[in-house]
Structure 1
Amino acid sequence: MGQAKLRGTPEQRKQAAIERQLSLRPKYIRCNNCQAELNEMTPMDISDIRGIEAAFMAHCPHCGHDTYAIKGEREAVAQMHMAIEDAVGAQSQAGVVPAAHRR
């Protein structure tokens, strides 16, 4: 029996991946534009991105800026960072977020 079948159905494996990503959700993302603490963030679909453990996007209600939090291997994070820049057509800034909250 294949390893994937031992880990459950495709739906169960997808749910487990979502739960793993949500467990890495930071307490907040600090807006790269106005420095506001952004507590509401949306998980990004990382299912096809090798080397990325979790990625979240927050939209700042104060200045309208989107800020991203990405966790993973250094090279994969850099590549995703560049892909986001290409998609939004603007240079982005790197920052640091606090550790993920524990339940």
Structure 2
Amino acid sequence: MGQAKARGTQAERMVQAQARIAATRPDKLVCNGCGGDVTDIHPVSTRGLQGIEAIWVGQCACGQTTFAASGEPKAVDAFFFALSENSELTLGSQSKDGQTHVKADSE
């Protein structure tokens, strides 16, 4: 408990955590379905997801849900694997500003 107090009050630590998450927000997501820009992006709780720094989700005008996740590579891979277990998932990667987008091979 002493280490937490050294980082500030609970309210201050919450603000710091929210700022760290906000700093990972991509400017936009690129839809893996139609390739369109998804700018209405919302954070998803990562509580209990060890190694995941942040998860963002957006809904494209074409109806496809697009996710972005950051953190340790193995944890991010595990997150997307878990998503793909229950539905067809198209994976890709992109730069934070959404300018570079690469779909993963589906083989």
TM-score, normalised with respect to structure 2: 0.80
Give identity over the alignment, percent: 33
Deviations 1:21-77, CA, capped at 9 Å, x for gaps = 11111111000111111111001111332211221000012x111010011111100
Corresponding residue number in structure 2 for 1:32 = 32
Q: CA RMSD in A?
A: 1.9
What is the count of residue pairs matched by the alignment?
98
Using CA pairs under 8 Å that are at least 6 residues apart, name the structure with larger relative contact order, 1 or 2: 1
After TM superposition, give the deviation of residue 18 of structure 1 in Å. Answer: 1.4
Unaligned runs of 5+ in 2: 99-107
Distance in 2 (CA, whole Å) between partners of 1:100 and 1:49 is: 25
Distance in 1 (CA, whole Å) between partners of 2:60 and 2:47 is: 25
Distance in 1 (CA, whole Å) between partners of 2:45 and 2:15 is: 12
TM-score, normalised with respect to structure 1: 0.82
Unaligned runs of 5+ in 1: none
1:1-12 alignment, distance < 5 Å: 2-12=2-12
Distance in 2 (CA, whole Å) between partners of 1:47 and 1:58 is: 19
